[in-house]
Structure 1
Amino acid sequence: MFRATQPGERVGPLKALRNFFGRGFQFSGRASRSDYWWIALYAALLSWGGQHADEHDYFSGPLTDGPEWIAVVYLLLALALLAAAILCVVFGIALSVRRLHDANLSGLWYLLILVPFLGAPALLILALLPPDPRGVRFDNQLLPQAPGAGSR
């Protein structure tokens, strides 16, 4: 089974990608700063690459002026890329929520993204916060607690 990293554990670029895609729908638990920032770097590079490709019109010209079936192939490819992009947005939200958990903040702080101009920079600042051991409260409890445990 997939082994999640421990909170505060530094991960490399490949492990960060495995965590990103392996825990994509997991909104509980915690994500380390290295997990978060490796994915942020990948997202920035992909964004830059997409803008570069768009500026140079790599997706227009003789290839799209061919038979009708080529247009259908391009449409299917565009739909597949759109589905992958939507999936990555959901995975990114889950990663951000887990990063907030690692700093002992509720995932609801992610709603700051809805505040125009200030929300995204505020979330980036929160992502810089160091891990807080009290964030363990957001981890999955694999073992049932004994009656009365943790009531004090």
Structure 2
Amino acid sequence: MGPIQATASCVRKAVTFAGRASRSEFWWFMLVFFVASFIASGVILLPLVPVIGDLAALEQSGLPTADASRRLEGVLAGTARNYFIYLTFSAVFWVVSISATVRRLHDTDRSGWWWWVQAVPFVGWIILLILTVAPGDDGHNRYGAPPTSGKGRKDVTLRADLPRKTIPKGLPGEPYNPVNELTTTEELRALRASRMAN
């Protein structure tokens, strides 16, 4: 998924906290969001630079600053209007980024409440960064089907189709029990039949 497609997808799902978001969708959107915010901040603050420089030079020279002050007031009025527009778009994109982060956490089979981990001082944002960088689940999880890529559906295997891992249960030294590996009643019947035949 490319940056335009990812941003469009996230904006379309602005208040959708259900479902999943792939790594590419999430990170392309975040990159576009931060670059757009940086450019918008520059556009808003750039007109202030020469006026503030002129005002500082006039104050150092001891000359009257009324003309520069009026110029600064005019620029500040325009900047305030632009800044209000910037804050409005930032608030909208903040909500979109929260929903994208929650859906990204869902892709790693974590609750959206993990978004609040960033409130932990110093390390919270690092934990959230690690969680959003982690690969998502390949198959279905409790938050739904895997997100689709730009070329269609991911080639995945459902978790129920994956072989179970042999995880020792009980105390150390407990003998292996093949019944723990069975997933269907047919497998249990086949095991019983093989044991009765012996």
Moved more, 126-135 or 70-79: 70-79
Assess if the C-alpha contact under 8 Å between 1:31 and 1:98 holds in 2: yes
Task: Give the alignment of 1:1-152 within 5 angstroms.
Answer: 11-49=1-39, 53=42, 58-60=46-48, 61=50, 65-66=70-71, 72-132=77-137, 133-135=139-141, 137-139=142-144
Q: Distance in 1 between matches of 2:82 and 2:34?
A: 22
In our comparison, the structure showing a higher alpha carbon Rg is 2
* TM-score, reference length from structure 1: 0.69
Q: Indicate how the Cα distance of structure 1 residues 114 and 12 shifts in structure 2: closer, same or farther if over 3 A, else same.
A: same
Q: Deviations over 1:77-134 (max 9, x none)?
A: 2211101101111110110000000011000111101111111111110012211124
Assess if the C-alpha contact under 8 Å between 1:30 and 1:98 holds in 2: yes
Q: Indicate how the Cα distance of structure 1 residues 21 and 65 shifts in structure 2: closer, same or farther if over 3 A, else same.
A: farther
Give the gaps of 5 or more residues in structure 2.
52-68, 146-198
Partner of 2:91, secondary structure, is: helix
Q: Distance in 2 between matches of 1:16 and 1:22?
A: 10
Assess if the C-alpha contact under 8 Å between 1:30 and 1:102 holds in 2: yes
Q: Distance in 1 between matches of 2:19 and 2:119?
A: 23
Where do 4+ consecutive residues of structure 1 move more than 6 Å? 67-70
RMSD of equivalent CA atoms: 2.9
Q: How far 1:59 sits from its partner (Å)?
A: 2.9
Give the gaps of 5 or more residues in structure 1.
1-10, 141-152
Q: How far 1:45 sits from its partner (Å)?
A: 2.7
Provide the identity percentage: 30
Q: Indicate how the Cα distance of structure 1 residues 37 and 24 shifts in structure 2: closer, same or farther if over 3 A, else same.
A: same
Q: Tell me the matched-pair count.
A: 126
What amino acid is the match of 2:104?
R
Q: Indicate how the Cα distance of structure 1 residues 122 and 68 shifts in structure 2: closer, same or farther if over 3 A, else same.
A: closer
Higher RCO (CA < 8 A, seq sep 6+): 1
* TM-score, reference length from structure 2: 0.54
Q: How far 1:29 sits from its partner (Å)?
A: 0.6
